[in-house]
Structure formats: C-alpha cells, structure tokens
C-alpha cells in the first residue's frame, strides 16, 4: 500500500509528521529518503511533536543518534546517518540495537545501512527541495 502526499510549505510537512505519529504504536522503523534540504528533519520534528515530545527535536547531524523518552517506556530515536562513511560504523555506534519493540526509530539517510535494515519498515521518500512543493510517498502504510 502506497500513499502519496503533496506539501507546499514546511508547516504542511510538519503536520504530515504529526499525522503519521498518530498511527504509531511502538516498534516501528521509519526510513526517510530524500536529498539535502528535502524536509526530512521538518517531518521528524512534526512526528516527534505528534508523539508528545515537548522538547525541541534538533537535527542529529553531529551526534548521529538522538533519543527521546515517551510514555510507557517507549523511546523515539531520531538518527541522521549522513556522515557515516561505511555501513560497519552503524553497527559500531549501535544503530541496529534500536530496532526493537520499545523504540520508534526514524532514520534520515538510511541508504548507507540498507543491508542492516529489517524487512519490516515504513519507507518515506521526499522529492523536491528549496521552495518547490514536496511529493512525499509512504510505502507499507495502512491509513
Ligand atoms: N514543503 C516543504 N516541506 C518541508 N520543508 C520545506 C518545504 N518548503 C520549504 N521547506 C524548507 O526546506 C528546508 C528543509 O530542511 P530540512 O528539514 O532540514 O531538510 P533535510 O533534513 O531533508 O536535509 C527547511 O528550511 C524548510 O523550511
Ligand atoms: Mg535533516
């Protein structure tokens, strides 16, 4: 099942993130594809807000992995793997350790660890950048 959305502002992409959050139960892995400036972090911010996180979701460009505590022992784990050079580094920093039932994982730039990704995942592709509208396609999405 594939769903396509079109957004014409950062606020709309943020709202889509919030909307996606409402459907999550825990244990999901969201792989977010799209070029630099596509709006991956904007969507992640909306998603985090939709999950009930009150602190600001910041881009984990330098620390790569950012964890946020949710209710009921769940965590939201936001990763940005842009700076990884080799897939093995993802294992060293413990990326696959977060693929578990009590985490909702969102990965920006998942391309680098394609081989480590489990079968069961949501794939989100954002096309467009700058002030152009975005096409946002979600695979494996039951809406
Ligand atoms: N429709 C849109 N959706 C998301 N971001 C948009 C949109 N239109 C313009 N923008 C802008 O594009 C930039 C996206 O940045 P960011 O989310 O950091 O990208 P990425 O994480 O994919 O590199 C922001 O400055 C945002 O304001
Ligand atoms: Mg980003």
Q: Compute, in angstroms, the gap from residue 31 CA to the centroid of ligand 2.
A: 12
Q: The pTM is what?
A: 0.96
Which residues surround the ion ligand 2 when the cut-off is CB under 5 Å? 40-41, 59, 108
Question: What's the whole-number average pLDDT of the chain?
Answer: 95
State the Cα–Cα distance between residues 106 and 80, nearest whole angstrom. Answer: 9
List, in order of start, the domains of the chain with CATH numbers. Answer: 2-139 (3.40.50.300)
State the Cα–Cα distance between residues 96 and 90, nearest whole angstrom. Answer: 8
For residue 136, pLDDT over 90 is answered with yes
Tens-digit pLDDT profile for residues 60-104: 888 899 999 999 999 999 999 999 999 999 999 999 999 999 999
Given the CA of residue 9, which atom of ligand 1 is nearest to it?
1
């Amino acid at each position: 099942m594939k769903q396509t959305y079109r957004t014409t502002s950062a606020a709309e992409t943020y709202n889509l993130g919030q909307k996606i959050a409402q459907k999550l139960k825990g244990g999901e892995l969201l792989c977010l594809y799209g070029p630099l400036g596509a709006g991956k972090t904007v969507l992640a911010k909306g998603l985090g807000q939709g999950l009930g996180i009150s602190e600001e979701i910041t881009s984990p460009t330098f620390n790569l992995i950012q964890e946020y505590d949710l209710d009921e022992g769940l965590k939201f784990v936001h990763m940005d793997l842009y700076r990884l050079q080799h897939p093995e580094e993802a294992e060293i920093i413990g990326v696959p350790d977060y693929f578990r039932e009590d985490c909702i994982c969102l990965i920006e730039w998942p391309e680098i660890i394609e081989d480590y990704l489990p079968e069961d995942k949501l794939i989100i592709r954002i096309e467009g950048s700058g002030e152009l509208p975005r096409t946002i396609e979600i695979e494996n999405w039951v809406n």
